[in-house]
Amino acid sequence: MSAQVQLQTSALPITPAGLGDLWRLRRFEKLTFSREDAWPLVELLFVLASPGIVRLKVESDRQMIGFVAGETRASQGTGWIITLGVAPAWRRQGLGERLLAAAEQAMHIPAIRLTVRASNQAAIALYQKAGYRQVGVSHRYYVGGEDGLIFEKRIMESWVDDSSKQNGEKPNLGLN
């Protein structure tokens, strides 16, 4: 990847997503995921409207080019990345890493898990690079019977600025 492309994608802000993004997210899903992996409209509505779900996006020219959603299960001390995708033309430019890191920080939970297709080597490499390790297998998890590999990352408490802890403030997520 050229330094110019890396600079261009790093300048694109990560912002919260909401119900107003429904149709852009639907187009993004169809573009980004296979037919069997793209979420149906009702699941997109759920992820955009449900409380307790972190929803972040990256856009270029009003087109969604990256999206991540994470569900926090505070009672379990665990969060789940429930979807992460980058539009095909924008892959391998650091957007997936940035979205994943922003979601981890926004979820503010000690452990984060995710499930990935066993055949998705690019995603597995991304998660391993980000510090995730495989902790299990969900057999026949995906449509078509493919196994889902369960990965987990233990999040360091050092992310949270000590002064914001003492003041009861939420950490600065660095989201523009």
Q: Write down the pLDDT at residue 156.
A: 64
- The verdict on residue 173 lying in a domain is no
- The verdict on residue 111 lying in a domain is yes
Give the Cα separation of 103 and 156 in Å (integer).
14
Total-model pTM: 0.83
- The verdict on residue 141 lying in a domain is yes
Question: Within the chain, how many helices (H) and strands (E) appear?
Answer: 6, 7
Q: Write down the pLDDT at residue 77.
A: 85
The CATH number assigned to the domain holding 41 equals 3.40.630.30
Q: Write down the pLDDT at residue 121.
A: 96
Pair of tokens at residue 118: 């066993």
Alpha carbon of 128 to those of 2, 14, 20, 21: distances in Å? 23, 22, 33, 30
Q: How many CB atoms sit inside 10 A of residue 53's CB? A: 18
Backbone region of residue 170 per phi and psi (left: phi > 0; alpha: psi in -120 to 50; beta: other values): beta
User: Domain residues for 141?
Assistant: 3-165
Instruction: Indicate the DSSP class of residue 62.
Output: T
- The verdict on residue 147 lying in a domain is yes
- The verdict on residue 171 lying in a domain is no
Alpha carbon of 130 to those of 16, 48, 154: distances in Å? 21, 25, 11
DSSP assignment of 103-147:
HHHHH--SEEEEEEETT-HHHHHHHHHTT-EEEEEETT-STTS--
Written as one letter, the residue type at 59 is: E
- The verdict on residue 110 lying in a domain is yes
User: How many domains are there within the chain?
Assistant: 1
Residue in the block written with tokens 């409209």: 41
Strand order in the sheet with 63-73: 14-16, 53-60, 63-73, 78-86, 111-117, 148-154, 133-138
- The verdict on residue 108 lying in a domain is yes
pLDDT (tens place) for every residue of the chain, 176 residues total: 444 444 477 789 999 999 999 999 999 999 999 998 999 999 999 999 999 899 999 999 999 999 999 999 888 889 999 999 999 999 999 999 999 999 999 999 999 999 999 999 999 999 999 999 999 999 999 999 999 999 999 986 434 443 344 445 444 444 43
- The verdict on residue 175 lying in a domain is no
